[in-house]
Amino acid sequence: MPDLQDISNAISELQPEAITDIGVLASKKDPPADYNVVAQTTDGFDANLWKDSIFKSKVTRYLCFSRASKNKQLCNVVVDMKLMDLKETLPEGFTSIQDTMDSQEQALKKERLCVKLVPRHTTNTAICDLIIQGKSKHGLANYTYIGEMNSLGIWCQLGNITKLKDTGHKTSSASSYTSDVVRQFPVSPTSSPTKKNIVRPDYEHHIHNLYTTSALDDIPFTICKKCVSTSRVEIQPVHLMGITIKSPQEIEEEYSYSFNTEHGAVAF
């Protein structure tokens, strides 16, 4: 017994692609490229939708549709159709087929055909086939009745939209974002994300736990003993361009002042 999943897949493969555009033609002989003409009814008669008067010249109108699209992911698909009177208000989201595609004449006589298109990725179902029913008025399985013109019934078939898989767009976007973050905020090789911050006590009131330890912490910094002389170095007077540079001791002795006079004046 075949598996139900296999049957479902087989049905999906047999189902036509979603229709991307619907139009009306004045002649069925030379349809536009990638368009199919509904030239005959289900019982083999001419599918002309225009009903002519006896005293007027012969006028014909035929439905046509296309499943072609340059980009299946970004294209629009037809999700609904309505046959309306010319005086009726156009429903929201619908567009009216007013002119024929080949001759730019009035598309239909007393009624207008309206279609609703939406982006493919926003819907799960769309119209995938159109047929014209002739003299037989029996219901058609898997088809939805749209309306009647020139004693002919217009029917459409709804089908499921085949979802196209994303080719790693989200992954690439995430990778790009991560790379940007790393470039802006490089991570130090010596830092550890799981290591707790340790605050030095002498700077605790200044940095508020923002200081982290490093390899140089707690190492005393002193001057090498070899560089320090135990004997007092006497600074000798230096004469540079007539200017005598004196030592601090000489300056202190030369300009020493006891302020005895001032102190005596304050005492009185």
Q: For domain 4-160, is the CATH number 2.40.30.10?
A: no
Digit-coded pLDDT (tens) for 56-66? 668 999 999 99
φ, ψ for residue 230, nearest 5 deg: -80, -25
Would you call 28 helix, strand, or coil by DSSP?
coil
Query: Which burial class, exposed, middle or buried, applies to 239 when counting CB atoms under 10 A from its CB (0-12, 13-18, 19+)?
Result: exposed
**What does the alpha-carbon distance between residue 206 and residue 209 come to, in Å, rounded to a whole number?**
9
Q: What is the residue extent of each domain of the chain?
A: 4-160
Pick out the chain residues at pLDDT < 50.
Answer: 1-2, 4-12, 167-211
Can you give the pLDDT at residue 252? Answer: 83
**How high is the pLDDT of residue 63?**
97
Q: What is the pLDDT of residue 223?
A: 73
Length of the chain (residues): 268
Q: Report pLDDT for 127.
A: 97
Q: Can you give the pTM of this predicted structure?
A: 0.57
- Neighbouring C-beta atoms of residue 102, cutoff 10 Å: 19
What gap in Å lies between CA 17 and CA 13, rounded to an integer? 9
168-222 pLDDT tens trace: 444 444 444 444 444 444 444 444 444 444 444 444 444 444 445 666 666 776 7
